[in-house]
Structure 1
Amino acid sequence: MGINETMMFKVDNEKENEAKEILVSVHQALKEKGYNPINQMVGYILSGDPTYITNYKNARSIVRRLERDELLEEVLKFYLENHNNEPE
C-alpha cells in the first residue's frame, strides 16, 4: 500500500457490542466508587495504564478484554451517530 492510499480499519459487530457492554460496566463501577468515570476512562485509553480503572466489580480485568482502539472506536461511533446533524 502506497503512502497516498487510505488504509481501512474494521471491527466486527461482535466486538462492537462487547465494547459497548464493557464501557457501560466500567463506567458504572468507577461511578459507584466515587471516581469521575470519564476522566478515568480517558486516562486509561490514552495511556494504556490499567490502574486508572478500579478493581471494584472486576472492572480492571473487564476493560482489558478489548484493545483500547476498539473501545475508542465505540466511543467515536456513538458520539458521531448522536451528534452529527448532517444528513446521511
Structure 2
Amino acid sequence: MDRQTRMYDNFDKIEQRTIEEILNIVYDALEERGYNAIDQMVGYILSGDPSYITSHNNARNIIGHIERDDLVEELIKSYLNK
C-alpha cells in the first residue's frame, strides 16, 4: 500500500469516529505529553489556535476534522443530557 492510499484510509477512519471518540483521543494525547488536557482543549475551542493541541498521536490533525461549533454543540448536548 503506498503512502497516498494510507492517507485516504486514515482520513476515512477519522471521518467515521464520533466526536466523543475524537475528544478522548485528543485528551489522552495531551495527558501523555503532560499537559492539562482540559485547559488545552478549552483554549483550542475558544481560540481556534491548533497549537493548543499536541501533534502527538496525530491529535492535532484528528481534532482539525471537526468544526469547533460542532464540538461546542456536542459538549452542551452531552452536559444537558446527564
Instruction: State the TM-score, normalized to the length of structure 2.
Output: 0.76
Moved more, 42-51 or 73-82: 73-82
Q: What is the number of equivalent residue pairs in this alignment?
A: 67
CA positional deviation for 1:74 = 1.4
Residues 1:35 and 2:42 are matched in the alignment: no
Task: Find the counterpart in structure 2 of residue 53 from structure 1.
Answer: 53
* SS across alignment from 1:76: helix
For the aligned residue pairs, the C-alpha RMSD in angstroms reads 1.4
Task: Find the counterpart in structure 2 of residue 63 from structure 1.
Answer: 63
Runs of 4+ aligned residues of structure 1 deviating over 2 Å after TM superposition are none
Instruction: State the TM-score, normalized to the length of structure 1.
Output: 0.71
Over alpha carbons, which structure has the higher Rg?
A: 1
CA positional deviation for 1:81 = 1.0
> Unpaired runs of 5+ in structure 2?
1-14
> Unpaired runs of 5+ in structure 1?
1-14, 83-88
Post-superposition CA distance 1:26-52 (Å, at most 9, x none): 011111111011100000000000000
Higher helix share: 2
Task: Find the counterpart in structure 2 of residue 8 from structure 1.
Answer: none
* Identity of matched residues, %: 57
Moved more, 53-62 or 69-78: 69-78
What CA distance in whole angstroms lies between the structure 1 residues aligned with 2:31 and 2:80? 24
